[in-house]
Amino acid sequence: MLDPRKLRHDPARTAEVLKTRHYSLDIERFESLERSRQEWQRRTESLQAERNRVSRAVGAAKASKGKQHDARALIDSVATLGEQLKAGQAALAEAQAELNQLLSEIPNLPHHSVPMGRDEHDNEEVRRRGTPRQFPFEVRDHVDLGARLGMMDYELAAGLAGSRFVVLQGGLARLHRALAQFMLDLHIHEHGYEETMVPMLVNSRALYGTGQLPKFADDQFTTRDQPPYYLVPTAEVPLTNLAAGRIFEAAELPLRKVAHTQCFRREAGSYGKDTRGMIRQHQFEKVELVHIVQPEQSYATLEALTGHAEAVLQKLELPYRVVALCTGDMGFGAAKTYDLEVWLPSQQRYREISSCSNCEAFQARRMKARWRNPETGKPEPLHTLNGSGVAVGRALVAVMENHQNADGSIRVPEVLAPYMGGCAAIQRPAD
RNA sequence: GGAGAGAUGUCCGAGUGGUUUAAGGAGCACGCCUGGAAAGUGUGUAUACGCCAACCGCGUAUCGAGGGUUCGAAUCCCUCUCUCUCCGCCA
């Protein structure tokens, strides 16, 4: 949610900026809704003020003996007020609902440092780390490697659920678990995050708070309860909403939360993309990092957060690059986003494995997450940030492909040794 | 799933239709008092929206949420949510 006051103040300029995000703001509609809201609000409030005044007078008249007649006259004098008020309130509610609907579907404004651009081709590479390995043999992709190991099976998963699911078994299942545990421990012990366990079913209010609703309802899995539960598409939703409706004192900030959860996505818009393998699944695991901070700290925090995600890839000995997303490629709520892209030798290209965003006050305003600014003494919206630290399934893919051996076995990176019971390589069990 | 109790401000807590325009207490902030502190004492202490250039000020809403009755609702009625206790079931 943009600041409604700022939008009111200069809608034309805001519309210009929103164009770079493929959003066309209907200024005329906005202003007419705003006018109507304002008019009905004034009208109802003055009717309410009158009602309150008369009602108090009725009470006073009834309290003093001998003025019962005055009370009767007062009551008669507001005979039609109730209906006017009801009509006014209904009109006001309608105007507010339409205005909210409009406001809730406007994406965030990009930070001035965000490169202008249409789509992912206009993203800017910020840095590269690690060198893609030269293989003296033909590399296999993770699907091939997994099948040869007998530990990754898409047909079994299809039998259980459908397409875009996987069954991992034996060493690969353990490697997958080890990756998640390693990431959690790294962020908890070395980066200062608080370990958090959150619900993976949430209500619509939580999804509204982080911006998935109302616009992206089709991307979410829901239950058939009434009202429905939503399966979280990312732990960003429950973690960020921990601050919803609260007013923090400056001393309580910043909040740094990490959670490891399943994530569920219908991926309605992605059919035909990445249909092979574990890159794009309906269910996947992710270790998520969330910061709730004072506004002036949020951009320094974005750099730190990105660094925490990078540390995962460095320790797993994976080559990657950091990319600043352009205006046209950023997510709905983000003011600035860095993607971490890991090298996949089978595809000879870098693929997204983490996305770190500063949402500034966009989510905080939707969920009313505030702090008391000591300088003003007033509650003001916080800034929220989130980043994957990192996607576990994609990390498994990256480890398999980058650390594969000629015989199809997988070298286990050293940092995972404590989580793998000393197992240094995943190989096909002897028949 | 069944039965019961409950939800009031930062916290505790009073409040069964009209000076509640939410009592009282605690906490917190700032004064006074004090050599300093404690005690005492005074004042202040929610959020949102609107009017105003802004401060001040004024108006409106909010007593778990939504709806209803009424000139008027924290209070009466209906629906829902959540919490607690007991029972059942269960990993």
pLDDT attached to residue A431:
67
pLDDT top residue among A42 and A135: A135
pLDDT attached to residue A54:
87
Q: Where are the domains of chain A?
A: 26-104, 120-426
pLDDT top residue among A103 and A271: A103
Span A143-164, average pLDDT: 95
Catalytic residue among A37, A140, A256, A394: A394
Residue tagged 């997988």 (tokens): A410
pLDDT attached to residue A316:
98
Catalytic site includes residue A265: yes
pLDDT top residue among A207 and A6: A207
pLDDT top residue among A369 and A326: A326
For residue A269, pLDDT over 70 is answered with no
Q: What is the 3-state secondary structure (H, E, C) of A24-39?
A: CCCHHHHHHHHHHHHH
For residue A286, pLDDT over 80 is answered with yes
Contacting residues for A115 by C-beta, under 8 A, at least 6 apart: A122, A123, A124, A324, A326, A327
Q: Where are the beta strands (DSSP E) in A200-307?
A: 201-202, 230-231, 247-248, 255-264, 283-293
Q: Mean pLDDT in chain A?
A: 92
Span A116-131, average pLDDT: 96
Q: Which of A6-20, A36-50, A67-81, A110-124 has the highest mean pLDDT?
A: A110-124
Integer distance in angstroms from CA A21 to C1' B10? Answer: 42
Span A332-341, average pLDDT: 97
Please answer whether residues A264 and A222 qualify as being in contact, where contact means their C-beta atoms are separated by less than 8 angstroms. no
pLDDT attached to residue A65:
65
Q: Are strands A201-202 and A283-293 parallel, antiparallel or unpaired?
A: unpaired
By C1' distance from the Cα of A52, the closest nucleotide is: B72
Catalytic residue among A21, A265, A366, A370: A265
Span A369-380, average pLDDT: 83
Please answer whether residues A292 and A255 qualify as being in contact, where contact means their C-beta atoms are separated by less than 8 angstroms. yes
ipTM of the complex: 0.84
Q: Is the CB of A336 under 7 A from strand B?
A: no
pLDDT attached to residue A281:
94
Residue nearest to nucleotide B60 (CA to C1'): A45
What is the CATH number assigned to the segment(s) A120-426?
3.30.930.10
By C1' distance from the Cα of A378, the closest nucleotide is: B47
By C1' distance from the Cα of A379, the closest nucleotide is: B47
Range name among A239-248, A317-326, A353-362 with the lowest pLDDT average = A239-248
pLDDT attached to residue A93:
85
Start-to-end Cα distance in chain A:
59
For residue A394, pLDDT over 80 is answered with yes
By C1' distance from the Cα of A247, the closest nucleotide is: B47
Here the tokens at position A229 are 């539960």
- Dihedral angle of Cα A19, A21, A27, A33, to the nearest 10 degrees: 170
pLDDT digits (tens, 9 = 90+) for A64-105: 766 677 778 888 887 788 888 888 888 888 888 888 889 999
For residue A271, pLDDT over 80 is answered with no
Catalytic site includes residue A125: no
pLDDT attached to residue A141:
96
pLDDT top residue among A25 and A69: A25
Give the bases of strand B that a protein CB approaches within 7 Å: 18-19, 21, 46-51, 59-61, 68, 71-72
For residue A373, pLDDT over 70 is answered with yes
For residue A392, pLDDT over 90 is answered with yes
